[in-house]
Structure formats: C-alpha cells, structure tokens
Copies of this chain bind each other. A is one copy, B any other.
Amino acid sequence: MNLPNRNTQVQLRRQRDGLPDAADFQMGDATIPDLAEGEILVRSIYLSLDPYIRKAVRGDHPGHVALKPGDVIYGRSVCRVVRSRHADYKQGDFLVAETGWQHYAAISPKKIVQRIDPALGPLSTAIGVLGMPGLTAWGSVAHLATPTVGDTYVVSAAAGPVGGTVGQLAKLAGARVIGIAGGKEKCEVVTRGYGFDVCIDYKKEGWEAALQAACPNGIDIYHDNVGTPLLSVLVKYFNLYAKVVMCGRPGDYHSGEFQGISLGPFIGKRAQMKGLVVYDYEKDMPRYLRVASTLVREGKLRFKEDHADGIENTPAHFLKLMRGENIGKCIVAVGPEKG
C-alpha cells in the first residue's frame, strides 16, 4: 500500500433518520491540511467503524457537533504522526485519534484517544481488543459484573469485539459462558474462535429452548449489547439477584419504533442492573492493556477483525456493520503501517 498523496474523505451527503444507506455518503477530495502551532498532522491507517457513527447521519450524537452535508464523517482511527508542532508528539508515533473518515487530519491533543505501544500487539488491535471495545469489556467484567467461578454468564452480540472479549474474560474468571449471535458463521467464531462454551443462534427456530438447555442452572450475569426484545426473554431464565450490565441498546428501536420494557419481572428476580459507559474506565486503561496484551500474546484472548481495503470502501463496509453482517471488529485499512 502506498502513502496517499491526496486527502480523500468520506463526507456526509444528507442528514436523516432511519438506517443509513449509500446515498447518505459522498467521497470528497481535499488538500493535506496545514498545521497550526500545537497541532499534529496524522495519517490514518485503520479506520474504526463503530455503531455510534450512525448518529453522524442522524445528527444527534451527544458530545459531537452535528454534521452538515459536506462535513467529514467522524470516527476514530489508528494513525501515525506525519508532522508535529506539539512537543509531546513526534513523527512516527502511533496514536488512536478522532481523525474522521479521511486520509489526513490536523488534530489537537484533545482529539487523541490513546498512544499506541506497537510492541503490545498488532496495530489494528488498538481499536479492538486492545482499545475501547476491549476496555468496554473490561469495565463490564472487572468493574460491574465481577463474575466468580461457576457463574452462568450470557453475552449478546457475542461475535463482536466487545461481546467476544467479555465472554473470554468471564471464562478466564471461571464462568460458564454462553454467547448469543446471529447466524452459523458468527456462532462458530464465538465457540471455535473465542472459546465460549456454547453459542446460541438467535436466528434459528427454537433458539429460546436451546438457550434454556444451555443454562441448566439459570443465568447469573447478562452482558446486554442489544436491548429490549432479547432482555425481555432472558429475564425468564435469570437466577435471583442476576446481574445485568446494560451496554448497548440498538434493539430498542425496531423499524424506528420504540420498544419499551417492563421492569416488573426484574423486580421478581431481584435483578441488579447497571449502566456501562466506557469513558468511565479510561483511567484503568493501563492496567487493562497490561493484562490483555499478555493474554493476547499467550493466545488466551483472541480477536476477530473484518477488514475492508481502501477509503472508498468505507461506506459499504459501514453499511455491512449496520446490517449486522460483519464478523468481528469492522476496520477499513486506508494506508500502510510503515512510512
């Protein structure tokens, strides 16, 4: 892969509700930006495609400025410092930063999410198992759910980078781990790849009976990546005092319609429900990276990435994520690691 010589961008074409489609995006071409004092010029290597980016199209993401048509889609990437006018960063440094979907970005340090130590693992893992998805899993397992030996631990969206890591950490902590995922291929990643005890394909007839059979002692912990419809079913199999880590809720909206949940059954089960926001655990990232990079090196913590190549393929790859057809962390390789 050659170094890009133009600043190709993916821009918002139109803002609207509903699931994004290809016509919501457009390609743009810009010059490589100049640097102000205190800024850093970075070159994107791996774009991180994440569900929250959907809100760029809807225009309602808290903590982000609403985009206008023609603006670069926001998002993080593994990137490398090309030129620096900031004393703390030098050419060649690897970072995870808020670059947006483009080849080059001039950023201030507050757009930097983390420095990458390339010795810890493959560079792309800095936006996956050794990045925010991994830290999300760490917050869920080590801070909120705190499983113990013999717990039955259920994880939804189990083939994804958060769910996959949650289940593996839970298993290392002695739990029996049951994944839930859609389709045979994902379920194989979950069991053969990540080593979960069982994976339930929720797209298959009879999945609920299969889940029940997989949890003969009931469910002690549920990491909820998907929201209402599934949570309403799972509560039936909760043990008393079951813990729920509430992490993502894409399922609360079906065809744009809100699906509310009844909390009554959760009272009956004396459920303990906790909301998770990954930013709360940023201070614990060094510890997580020590633990997880060792596990990755030893082959005890595995990850799966779903790569596309070339920035022009970013919208299509993102739409695949939106349809739930990705297997593992969605990444677009947009430039070489070296150089």
A residues in contact (CB < 8 Å) with B: 62, 227-228, 231, 246-247, 249, 252, 258-264, 266-277, 280
Contacts and interface: CB of A to CB of B under 8 A. Distances in A.
A267 B252 contact: no
Contacts of A227: 263
Nearest to A247: B267
Nearest to A258: B262
A264 B249 contact: yes
A270 B262 contact: no
Nearest to A277: B270
Contacts of A260: 228, 258-262
B267 A249 contact: yes
Contacts of A270: 274-277, 280
Nearest to A275: B267
Contacts of A264: 249, 252
Contacts of A276: 267, 270
Contacts of A231: 263
A197 to B, nearest CB: 27
A231 B266 CA distance: 15
A261 B227 CA distance: 12
Given A246-B263, A261-B262, 12 more contacts: A227-B263, A247-B267, A249-B263, A249-B264, A261-B261, A261-B263, A263-B273, A266-B275, A267-B275, A268-B277, A271-B275, A272-B275
A140 to B, nearest CB: 12
Q: Which of A249, A262, A275 has the most CB of B within 10 A?
A: A275
Contact of A267 (B246, B261, B268): B246
Contacts of A280: 270
A62 B249 CA distance: 31
A258 B246 CA distance: 22
A260 B273 CA distance: 16
A328 B40 CA distance: 66
A276 B231 CA distance: 19
Contacts of A259: 260
Contacts of A261: 260-263
A231 B276 CA distance: 19
Contacts of A62: 268
Nearest to A274: B272
A231 B273 CA distance: 15
Contacts of A277: 267-268, 270
A247 B266 CA distance: 10
Contact of A252 (B246, B258, B263, B269): B263
Instruction: Kindly list the 6 A-B residue pairs having the minimum CB-CB distance in the complex, ordered from nearest.
Output: A260-B260, A267-B275, A273-B273, A270-B275, A246-B267, A271-B275
Nearest to A260: B260
Contacts of A228: 260, 263
A330 to B, nearest CB: 22
A234 to B, nearest CB: 13
